[in-house]
Amino acid sequence: MSESKFVYLASQSPRRRQLLEQLGVRYELLLADDSEDAEALEVVLPNEAPRAYVQRVTLLKLEAALARMKHRGLPAAPVLCSDTTVALGKTILGKPDDAKHAAQILGALSGQTHRVLTSVAMGTLSKSGKPLKTEQALSVSNVRFAPLTRAQIQTYVASGEPMGKAGAYAVQGRAAAYIEHIRGSYSGIMGLPMFETAQLLRAFGFKV
């Protein structure tokens, strides 16, 4: 069994908090401060495949969070990180820069099937502060959008929901009205695949 009674969640996403709460696991937030360049971790490397990208970024986030825990002198506990990437073919569709960019992304997704890849990773440090154990899992889902009119895209973008979302949409929000079909993990599309996350938690001794 895990010696810890809680996990650190290194994510600002309220959706991930909600999903983790569904598993009945106590958590504390472990967020980056202004001294960390969190966005730099999400830069895509040249010719990087979506699967390789999301797994690499998640491990970088975990590494940064473990260092953050050590630097702040916090009680030791497993750290949970996650990253979600939307891919249309081999093209990675990140978070929109502005409303115009959001409309472009949604236009590309219109009438198409895309993949949502969510990687989850957990890790701990030894008493000496060195990485002790790291586990990672990947959820891949397919999402098909109905053909969208320009007016539908403009209305959705105007709602503000696409901003800050990979692929410029939130499956649990207004975008659900445009999604014809999903194959895979709904919670994974939201940002924290429940099945894979539960497996990782069990690997670290939590009862889930």
How big is the chain by its Cα radius of gyration, in Å? 18
Which of the following is catalytic: 33, 34, 37, 83? 83
CA distances from 101 to 13, 23, 93, 104, 148 (A): 21, 35, 10, 5, 16
Beta bridge partners of 27: 7
Strands 91-93 and 79-88: antiparallel
CA distances from 148 to 47, 57, 111, 152, 184 (A): 29, 31, 7, 6, 22
Active site residue 83: yes
- Both structure tokens of 193: 């695949």
> What is the C-alpha separation between 138 and 188, in angstroms, rounded?
9
Q: Which residue numbers are catalytic? A: 83
